[in-house]
Amino acid sequence: MSGVVLKNIRKSYGAVHVIHGVDLEVQKGEFVVFVGPSGCGKSTLLRMIAGLEEITGGEMYIDGEQVNDIPPSRRGIAMVFQSYALYPHMTVYDNMAFGMRIAKASAEEIEKRVKAAADILQLTPYLDRLPKALSGGQRQRVAIGRAIVRNPKVFLFDEPLSNLDAALRVATRIEIAKLHESMSDAIMIYVTHDQVEAMTLADRIVVLSAGRIEQVGSPLELYENPQSLFVAGFIGSPKMNLLHGARAASFNCSTVGIRPEHLEIAGHTGGQWTGTVIHTEKLGADSFLYLDIGDDEPMTVRENGTTKYNTGDTVSVKALDGKVHRFGADGKPVKV
Ligand SMILES: Nc1ncnc2c1ncn2[C@@H]1O[C@H](COP(=O)(O)OP(=O)(O)OP(=O)(O)O)[C@@H](O)[C@H]1O
Ligand SMILES: [Mg+2]
């Protein structure tokens, strides 16, 4: 039983139950991303894997060894947090070497590993600098480098990029993807709120809701075949349009879901649904139209390029073939 295995893992703080029995197996070399609304238990689960939170119930294994009562330092894990917490008075090199020095590694071994990590993360030119002389993205890369030199079996990341600006986020995301490719045996478990990070980094995404797993699957499995209304609404940005009442009844279901990118504008009339444009967002590469269609939430429509429609226009849309999701009253997909 290699990898990270969670069996019926539970967590309570006194009488408050926050994780209700999670089963999950993460294989060697796999990149797994946890997503879910704020407060659903992502960090708690990660911290239990790290050994920073006590496990209330269930069993956890890392490489076949039950680790429930094993301290963090002996689990073979390294964790990278949102706030990178570098030692301000130490150079980049010393920040990365610190853990190995504590572990009494030889000077040659330390130098070899720090240089290798710096190379992977493109930090070599900065090894003599203090953290204050680095950008946010460079600092976060040092924090990741500190994890790499420990050569862990499991990397745990809790929203490591959320303090970075958009451009640095993209650059560092790519560094993390490359890091994963270069370490074929390492397991990475990564918490994020960012849809793009989840979709691009994950081999599998775990969608959590209120302390339970809603669905586990590859990014495209979750996108194409959400097994619940919750997952349908959570995966994808902007989110899937959900239509109810008579609109759903005409599809023989309780809720019809169509993603904004799967709607096509038919013109002013002639589509399946017609509404008034209440707002537009023109981003250059694409545009978003928000249509007031009556009873349901405003419908979001994605159009390539710059839309010619404006607020107040009447616009009619239709769903692309095969792109309609149907859900029953129980929130589960209706089988065709
Ligand atoms: N020490 C604690 N005592 C009581 N409840 C706690 C404690 N720590 C966390 N919780 C609760 O556990 C639940 C899960 O928290 P957690 O931090 O894991 O959520 P999260 O999914 O990481 O959220 P976010 O996306 O906001 O970071 C929350 O409802 C939180 O209030
Ligand atoms: Mg959290």
Q: What is the pLDDT of residues 184-235, one digit of tens each?
A: 899 999 999 999 999 999 999 999 999 999 999 999 999 999 999 999 999 9
What is the arithmetic mean of pLDDT over 315-322?
A: 96
The sign of the dihedral angle between the CA atoms of 232, 238, 244, 250 is: negative
CA 27 to chain CA centroid, Å, is 18
Tell me what pLDDT residue 165 has. 83
Contact 191, 46 (CB under 8 A): yes
Q: What is the pLDDT of residues 48-77, one digit of tens each?
A: 999 999 999 999 999 999 999 999 989 999
Q: What is the pLDDT of residues 152-172, one digit of tens each?
A: 999 999 999 988 888 888 888
Tell me what pLDDT residue 82 has. 82
Which residues pair with residue 317 across a beta bridge?
265, 273
Tell me what pLDDT residue 53 has. 95
Tell me, what DSSP letter sits at residue 30?
-
Q: Name the pLDDT band for 125 (thresholds 50, 70, 90).
A: very high
For a pLDDT cut of 90, what percent of the chain falls above it?
85
pLDDT greater than 90 at residue 24: yes
Looking at 150-253, list the stretches that DSSP marks H as alpha helix, in order from N- to C-terminal side: 166-182, 195-201, 219-224, 229-234, 245-249
The chain-wide mean pLDDT, for the chain, equals 94
Other Cβ atoms closer than 10 A to 292: 13
How is residue 280 written in tokens? 């537009």
Give the phi and the psi of residue 274 in degrees, each rounded to 5. -125, 140
How far is ligand 2, taken at its centre, from the CA of residue 36, in Å?
10
Greatest Cα-to-Cα distance within the chain, rounded to the nearest angstrom: 75
How far is ligand 2, taken at its centre, from the CA of residue 169, in Å?
18
Nearest CA to ligand 1 atom 6: 13
pLDDT greater than 70 at residue 336: no
Q: Which residues make up the environment of ion ligand 2, defined by Cβ < 5 Å?
A: 43
- Chain position carrying tokens 């309780």: 254
Q: Name the pLDDT band for 41 (thresholds 50, 70, 90).
A: very high
Q: SS3 letters for 290-336?
A: EEECCCCCCEEEEEECCCCCCCCCEEEEEECCCCCEEECCCCCECCC
Q: Name the pLDDT band for 134 (thresholds 50, 70, 90).
A: very high
Tell me what pLDDT residue 296 has. 85
Contact 19, 39 (CB under 8 A): no
Q: What domains, with CATH codes, occur in the chain?
A: 4-231 (3.40.50.300), 239-327 (2.40.50.140)
How is residue 188 written in tokens? 């990475």
Q: Is 38 in the pocket of ligand 1 (CB under 6 A)?
A: yes
Q: Name the pLDDT band for 15 (thresholds 50, 70, 90).
A: very high
Q: Which of 9, 13, 54 to mutate to test the pocket of ligand 1 (most atoms within 8 A of CB)?
A: 13
Instruction: Please give the Cα distance from 37 to 47 (Å, whole number).
Output: 17
Q: Name the pLDDT band for 335 (thresholds 50, 70, 90).
A: confident
Q: What own/partner pairs with CB < 8 Å and gap ≥ 24 does 293-301 have?
A: 295/244, 295/245, 296/241, 296/242, 296/243, 296/244, 296/245, 296/247, 297/241, 297/242, 299/241, 299/243, 299/263, 299/273, 299/275, 300/238, 300/239, 300/241, 300/260, 301/260, 301/263, 301/265
pLDDT higher at 335 or 55: 55
Rounded to 5°, the CA angle 96-177-130 comes to 25
How far is ligand 1, taken at its centre, from the CA of residue 5, in Å?
22
pLDDT higher at 122 or 31: 31
Instruction: Please give the Cα distance from 17 to 23 (Å, whole number).
Output: 16
Tell me what pLDDT residue 151 has. 87
Contact 273, 299 (CB under 8 A): yes
How far is ligand 1, taken at its centre, from the CA of residue 150, in Å?
28
Instruction: Please give the Cα distance from 189 to 173 (Å, whole number).
Output: 14
For a pLDDT cut of 70, what percent of the chain falls above it?
99
Tell me what pLDDT residue 257 has. 97
Instruction: Please give the Cα distance from 132 to 1 (Å, whole number).
Output: 44
